[in-house]
Structure 1
Amino acid sequence: MPSGKTHDRITLWILPWTVCGSYILTRNGELTLLFSGGFLFSGLMFGPDLDIYSVQFKRWGILRWLWLPYQKLLHHRSFLSHGFILGTVIRIIYLLLWLFILGSFFVAIAQLIIGFNWNWHTFIVKHFNLIITEYRQEAIAIFTGLELGSMSHYFSDWLGSANKKKQKAQKPKPKVKKTKNSTR
């Protein structure tokens, strides 16, 4: 299994190719930027190794405590953290849940202090509909970038494990010498 530095190198080596590929497919600089930003963010900070004390986890700095419950709930390399599409979806939902909890706290304080009228239901429905109708391509570009960044991680883990198994299988086994008193 590659180290965190190796995963970072792989992400940075693949980044120019994702930028070129995205621009060739979309012919849109904004979508390319969103896709590539999602890829880079996923490769460096939002990848599958948030389920352990990893380089990605450490990069969250003072906010790394957000990922402690995630680490307690998921086993390392489980299909819930390292699974194709599912791992990324779970991390997005997990982060959105924290944003909702923290946002609710700060909005409640602001409502007490300032006294403005604000409704979460209206806010969420309005913005969710806006994303679905107005910003569908942008949301798809970001999600695809996040997933491709995670896929580069999954693939390098798989390749590293397969290589270790191959090397272990090719290693000659030591011969056991028979002695006179051997019962074999």
Structure 2
Amino acid sequence: MPSGRTHDLVTYVLAIPTAVGLFFLTRHVGLTVLGTATMLFGGLMFGPDLDTHSKQYTRWGILRWLWYPYKKLFPHRSHWTHGLLWSTWLRVGYFTLVMTLALAAVLYVRAVWIDGLPADGDQAVRTLQTAGHHMSRLFRAVDGKVWLVAFIGLWWGAATHTLTDVIGSTLKSMFKTF
């Protein structure tokens, strides 16, 4: 399995052809920059190795606690975290859920401590609904092409990591037989 340094190098090297390919496909500088930036983010911070104590995990700094449940839920290199088709969707869904819950917590604290509303289950439900509503409005406010290019960038960054693992493991097993 390649090292974190190798994964980073592959991500950086592939950023240029990614940008060229995106510009060729979109003919739009903004979408090209977005797709390339999310590819870099996907490869360096939002990739498959968030399921273990890795460079990707530690790069989140004080926010790495957000990924702790993810790390505990999924075994390292499982198809859920390293699969080409679903792993990026899973991470996006997980991150969206965590951000929604974090927003709900902030709204709850504000409602109880600042607005003086009762600290009960009904208030918790209301703030969770409000957080969900805000997240939904955010997703609807952004053009679908932007979300698509951002997701493709995240997916490609993570896919380069998985493909590097597969190639590295294949080469390692091939050279063991000689």
| TM-score class normalised by the smaller sequence | 0.7 to 0.9
Superposed displacement of residue 97, structure 1: 1.2
TM-score (norm 2): 0.87
Q: Give the whole-Å Cα distance in 2 for the aligned partners of 1:31 and 1:148.
A: 15
Moved over 6 A (4+): none
Note closer, same or farther for the CA distance 1:136–1:73 as it changes in structure 2 (3 Å cut): same
**CA distances 1:97-156 after superposition (whole Å, capped 9, x unpaired):** 11111100111222334539983454344334334xxx1000000000000001111111
In terms of mean alpha carbon deviation, does 9-18 or 65-74 score higher?
Answer: 65-74
Q: Give the whole-Å Cα distance in 1 for the aligned partners of 2:149 and 2:78.
A: 26
Q: Give the whole-Å Cα distance in 1 for the aligned partners of 2:132 and 2:54.
A: 36
Q: Give the whole-Å Cα distance in 1 for the aligned partners of 2:75 and 2:132.
A: 34
Which structure shows the higher helix fraction? 2
Note closer, same or farther for the CA distance 1:20–1:51 as it changes in structure 2 (3 Å cut): same
Q: Percent identity?
A: 38
Note closer, same or farther for the CA distance 1:125–1:45 as it changes in structure 2 (3 Å cut): closer
Q: Give the whole-Å Cα distance in 2 for the aligned partners of 1:16 and 1:4.
A: 20
Aligned-partner residue type, residue 37 of structure 1 = A
Q: 1:146 aligned to 135, 154, 158, which one?
A: 154
| Structure label with greater radius of gyration | 1
Superposed displacement of residue 11, structure 1: 0.3
Q: Give the whole-Å Cα distance in 2 for the aligned partners of 1:71 and 1:21.
A: 33
**What aligned pairs does 1:1-184 form with structure 2 within 5 A after superposition?**
1-115=1-115, 119-131=130-142, 135-170=143-178
In terms of mean alpha carbon deviation, does 62-71 or 34-43 score higher?
Answer: 62-71
RMSD: 1.9
Q: Residue in 2 aligned with 1:178? A: none
Consecutive unaligned residues of structure 1, counting only runs of 5 or more, are 171-184
Consecutive unaligned residues of structure 2, counting only runs of 5 or more, are 118-125
Superposed displacement of residue 91, structure 1: 0.7
